[in-house]
């Protein structure tokens, strides 16, 4: 977003993104997977809400040169901020017509069905440029991927078009590596993937990279760590699940300090303050009646900004380093919070929705637990319009 002048304050809240936290997370993750495995930074969903154009340069500063998007539009965005020697990979959606710019830009992409495979071959031929493909195989996720019984036909196409196709990767995705309840399913997926790999290798087909692991797979199933891993949530400082954190806890350094650091903080400020008499209803309807004489503060953050309506009478924010409660319903653009017990609170004071203030902290997890949203969803629902500030 561009503002009329650099000192204008058009926003009602802003996000801070910490570079040092990112560095620390990558260091921890690289240490977990070993130095011979490349990290692809997954930047789908607007880089999990952090902003593609914010995260790409931060990641590149730590040495990352590989980025994964879900779709062509995200790849296009990434293209505008990557360094020359960085590579982009599309894991999901693209329209076949987009291959016309995707292939010349050297962007690689998942191929999981014959339609896309044939379109890629056709476009590569037309352009005289090889298409960089990752063959995605079905191992038990049951969403996308070539079936076991399709491999012979696929092999024929590969053989017939070797001058148009560059086999950059053989890949698959696991169906819930963050929970032990999926253990058997994941084991079967690993087995099936290796069967595909062996089969292709026996037929003389070798891929440049073998990659299967997301954050949870890296952390829970070391055998899924191959040439490259596709790390999403953990680079942003979150465990894929509470379960993964608990299972790792014993192996962490003796001090047991959580090695993953949240990059994001979400801050706003008090818009106005009002005294409310006991017995008055606060905000729309009758969801909250003041049980005593109260002071309430308006904070200009509502559900249109990603502060869920489910947090009505439930959410917490930090003011003056103290946890205070949302009273009444969350509206489109604002919430009201109870500051009756705080001293020295003024209009314009900082309000922390996610992050630290003095000795207190509100984590994304505690925020999302109270609304049943998982970290992933909360982060990606933070609107692109909220300004993001990079801090060291």
Ligand X SMILES: *Cc1c(COP(=O)(O)O)cnc(C)c1O
Q: CB under 8 Å to 272, separation ≥6 — which residues? A: 297, 298, 347
Question: Of 232 and 315, which CB lies nearer to ligand X in the complex structure?
Answer: 232
Binding range to ligand X, per CB under 6 A, among 54-62, 232-240, 297-305, 339-347? 232-240
Smallest distance from ligand X to CB 326, Å: 29
Cβ contacts of residue 329 below 8 Å, gap of 6+?
283, 284, 285, 287, 288, 309, 312, 313
Distance CA 75, CA 52 (A): 10
Q: Which is nearer to ligand X, 215 or 336 (CB)?
A: 215
**Inter-axis angle of helices 151-160 and 114-127, to 10 degrees?**
0
Q: From the CB of 371, what's the least distance to ligand X, in Å? A: 20
Residue 88 interacting with ligand X (CB under 6 A): no
Instruction: Give the DSSP H/E element, type plus range, for residue 17.
Output: strand 13-18
Would you say 183 or 284 has its CB closer to ligand X?
A: 183
Binding letters toward ligand X, positions 44-63, x by CB under 6 A: x-------------------
Residue nearer to ligand X on the CB measure, 42 or 326: 42
The CA distance from 15 to 389, in Å, is: 6
> Is 332 labeled as ligand-binding?
yes
Given 116, 132, 230, 305, the residue binding ligand X (CB under 6 A): 230
Residue placing its CB nearer to ligand X in the complex, 51 or 232: 232
Go through 77-94 and write b for each residue having 16 or more CB atoms within 10 A of its CB, e for each that does not.
bbbebbeeebbbbbbbeb
Q: 44 an active-site residue?
A: yes
- Of 51, 169, 232, 315, the residue at the interface with ligand X (CB under 6 A) is 232
CA distances, 235 to each of 65, 78, 171, 370 (Å): 14, 17, 20, 24
Give the residues across from 68 on adjacent strands: 42, 89
Candidates 12-20, 75-83, 119-127, 213-221; binding stretch for ligand X (CB under 6 A): 213-221
Q: What is the largest CA-CA distance in the chain?
A: 80
Q: Does 284 participate in catalysis according to the annotation?
A: yes
Phi, psi angle pair for 113, to nearest 5°: -155, 160
Does the protein bind ligand X through residue 214 (CB under 6 A)?
A: yes
Closest listed residue to residue 124, CA positions, set 89, 96, 171, 164 = 164
Among the listed ranges 95-103, 154-162, 214-222, 380-388, the one in contact with ligand X (CB under 6 A) is 214-222
CB of 368 to ligand X, least distance (A): 15
Query: How many residues sit in the footprint of ligand X (CB under 6 A)?
Result: 13
Contact pattern for ligand X over residues 169 through 208, marking x by CB under 6 A: ----x-----------------------------------
Chain centre to alpha carbon of residue 192: 27
**Least separation, in Å, of the C-beta of 245 and ligand X?**
14
Nearer to ligand X (CB atom), residue 90 or residue 386: 90
Known binding residue 228? Answer is: no
Which one of the listed residues 126, 183, 284, 389 is annotated catalytic?
A: 284
Instruction: Output the CA torsion sign for 312, 314, 318, 322.
Output: positive
Please give the full DSSP string across 194-228, using - where no structure is assigned: HHHHHHHHHTT---SEEE---HHHHHH-GGG--SE
Q: List b or e across 341-356, with b for residues whose CB sees 16 or more CB atoms inside 10 angstroms.
A: ebeebeeeeebbbbbe
Least Å from the CB of residue 234 to ligand X? 6
Q: Of 28-36, 77-85, 227-235, 303-311, which segment contacts ligand X by CB under 6 A?
A: 227-235
Residues designated catalytic: 44, 284
Known binding residues for substrate are 143, 332
Known binding residues are 143, 332
| Interface residue list for ligand X (CB under 6 A) | 42, 44, 91, 173, 214-216, 230-234, 240
């Amino acid at each position: 977003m561009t503002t009329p002048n650099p000192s204008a304050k058009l926003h009602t809240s802003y996000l801070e993104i910490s570079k040092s936290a990112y560095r620390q997370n990558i260091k921890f993750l690289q240490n977990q997977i070993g130095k011979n495995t490349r990290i692809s930074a997954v930047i789908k969903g607007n880089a999990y809400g952090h902003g593609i154009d914010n995260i790409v340069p931060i990641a590149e500063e730590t040495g990352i040169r590989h980025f994964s998007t879900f779709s062509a539009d995200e790849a296009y965005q990434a293209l505008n901020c990557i360094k020359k020697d960085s590579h982009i990979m599309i894991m999901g959606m693209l329209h076949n017509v987009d291959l016309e710019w995707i292939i010349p830009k050297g962007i690689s992409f998942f191929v999981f069905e014959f339609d896309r495979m044939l379109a890629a071959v056709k476009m590569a031929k037309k352009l005289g440029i090889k298409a960089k493909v990752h063959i995605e195989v079905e191992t038990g996720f049951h969403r996308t991927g070539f079936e076991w019984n399709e491999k012979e036909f696929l092999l024929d196409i590969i053989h017939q078009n070797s001058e148009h196709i560059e086999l950059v990767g053989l890949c698959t995705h696991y169906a819930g590596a963050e929970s032990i309840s999926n253990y058997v399913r994941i084991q079967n997926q690993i087995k099936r993937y290796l069967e595909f790999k062996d089969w292709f290798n026996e037929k003389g087909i070798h891929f440049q990279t073998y990659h299967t692991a997301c954050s949870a797979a890296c952390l829970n199933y070391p055998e899924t760590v191959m040439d490259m891993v596709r790390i999403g949530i953990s680079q942003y400082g979150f465990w894929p699940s509470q379960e993964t954190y608990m299972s790792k806890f014993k192996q962490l350094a003796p001090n047991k300090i959580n090695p993953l650091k949240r990059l994001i903080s979400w801050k706003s400020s008090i818009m106005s303050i009002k005294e409310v008499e006991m017995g008055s209803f606060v905000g729309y309807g009758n969801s909250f009646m003041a049980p005593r004489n109260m002071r309430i503060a308006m904070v200009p953050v509502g559900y249109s900004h990603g502060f869920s309506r489910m947090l009505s009478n439930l959410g917490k924010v930090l003011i003056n380093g103290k946890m205070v409660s949302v009273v009444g319903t969350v509206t489109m653009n604002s919430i009201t919070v109870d500051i009756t017990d705080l001293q020295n609170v003024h209009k314009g004071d900082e309000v922390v929705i996610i992050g630290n203030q003095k000795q207190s902290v509100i984590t994304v997890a505690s925020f999302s637990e109270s609304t049943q949203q998982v970290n992933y969803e909360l982060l990606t629902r933070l609107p692109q319009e909220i300004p993001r500030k990079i801090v060291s």
